[in-house]
Amino acid sequence: MATFDHLVRAEFAPKNVHLNTASSALLPARTVAALRDAVRLRAEGGALDPLFADVEACRAAYARLAGVPARRVAAGATVALYTALIAASLPPGAEVLTAEDDFTSVLNPFHTRGDLKVRSAPLERLAESVRSGTALVAVSAAQSADGRIADLPALREAARTHGARTYVDFSQAAGWLPVTADAFDYSVAIVYKWLLGPHGAAFLVVPEDLGDLPSVQASWVAAEHPWDSCYGPVTELARSARRFDSSPALFTYAGLRASLELLEEISVDAVRAHDLALADRFRTGLATLGREPVPAPGSPIVSVPGLGRLQPELAEAGIQVSNRAGHLRASFHLYNTADDVDRLLDALSGRT
């Protein structure tokens, strides 16, 4: 069996120091090849059956990663659209509890409804803020801005105690943190960050009974028999989460299939150990520079207050990071090395 290092070297050859997976991941070589094959298929006029098969293969692969049956996984496009679907399921006046300053796609559809009571609390106090009358708690498993990890077990127990449903966005976690989808009513993830996929796809996990979600976005692909449902109203929606599918970006899924296969070969546990070791190396180095990051133990995302202004200079030096609200955000993934960490620290030592 190929080792972690061998697999990574075979798949990635970055031309710069890419410490920005929290924005967008590098694509594996096998994913690039799959995308080229898909484009060639379209250019040559081949049948689309293999591309639709890729969608189902990706659904099954994400289901394995999330620990649920594939029938509970919907394949769509964005987190925001699936958040809107969750929002549409709530009655007027329902209370939604969110984390302060969470990513907009997890929040905004609840606000734009106009007739929901949306309340926020600090991430560290989210579980204790669930109360009687809270209908839904929505939160990112890991915060995009600074990598802080939600206390999901405490949140789950608090929601159960008060009869609230839960909606967790694993977009900044799936691929390095085990996804415990079965512990929550709904969960979602996009694929172009830690899952190493192209842009254009997202997965929603729903309960066995499909929950209370209305099929407001149902198209022909949401039918039990899609190819018999291309014209006129859909007479029978899929009896699985596929009723919440949107028409797939076929090229995206062609590439994503290869990305998810790579992650399964390496294992999320191995990726997590690698990523966290690099993040801890960076935190240790920051201490020698007299800098303290936002506390986010156990996260591969490290956010350093006051250094976001250096992002353009670092980019010129071939080091890709993000500026988030004035903080320098570095995120470490399987294709990064200790040398990448040290190069960033060296660059910061001359600029801070």
Task: Give the per-residue pLDDT at 96.
Answer: 98
Based on the domain organization, do 9 and 138 belong to the same domain? no
Do residues 187 and 281 both lie within one domain?
no
Indicate whether 103 belongs to any domain. Answer: yes
Distance CA 264, CA 281 (A): 26
Residue-number span of the structural domain to which 61 is assigned: 37-264
- Residue of 336, 335, 331, 321 whose CA lies nearest to 351: 321
* 250 and 275 in a common domain: no
CATH number of the domain that residue 185 is part of: 3.40.640.10
The distance of Cα 101 from the centroid of its chain, to the nearest Å, equals 17
Q: Say whether both 273 and 236 belong to one domain.
A: no
Q: Which of the listed residues 194, 229, 264 is the one where a domain comes to its end?
A: 264
- Same domain flag for 313 and 283: yes
The reported pLDDT for the residue numbered 352 is: 65
Query: In the chain, how many H helices and how many E strands?
Result: 11, 12
- Answer whether residue 18 shows pLDDT above 80: yes
Percentages helix, strand, coil for the chain (3-state, rounded to 5) are: 45, 15, 40
Pairing of strands 165-169, 73-76: unpaired
Q: What angle do CA 25, 30, 32 make, to 5 degrees?
A: 65
Residue 112 tokens, joined: 């734009």
Give the end of a domain, one of 264, 284, 301: 264
Are residues 186 and 86 part of one domain?
A: yes
Mean pLDDT of 211-218: 90
**Do 275 and 327 reside in the same domain of the chain?**
yes
Same domain? For 98 and 192 the reply is yes
SS3 letters for 281-331?
Answer: HHHHHHHHCCCCCCCCCCCCEEEECCCHHHHHHHHHCCEECEEECCEEEEE
Confidence tier at 217 by pLDDT (50, 70, 90): confident
Q: Give a yes or no: residue 125 inside a domain.
A: yes
Instruction: Give a yes or no: residue 196 inside a domain.
Output: yes
CA nearest neighbour of 166 among 82, 245, 96, 71: 96
pTM over 0.85: yes
As a whole number of angstroms, the distance between CA 301 and CA 318 comes to 19
Query: pLDDT tens digits for 303-333?
Result: 999 999 999 999 999 999 999 989 999 999 9
Same-domain status, 173 and 64 = yes
What percent of the chain stands above pLDDT 70? 99
Res 351: pLDDT: 73
Among the listed residues 219, 185, 221, 191, the one whose alpha carbon sits nearest the alpha carbon of residue 203 = 191
Domain count, the chain: 2
Q: How much is the mean pLDDT over the chain? A: 96
Domain boundary (264, 291, 325) is at 264
Indicate whether 192 belongs to any domain: yes
Checking if the pLDDT of 1 tops 70, the result is: no
Co-location of 305 and 169 in the same domain: no
Model pLDDT for residues 99-138, shown as the tens digit of each residue: 999 999 999 999 999 999 999 999 999 999 999 999 999 9
Determine, yes or no, domain membership for 32.
no
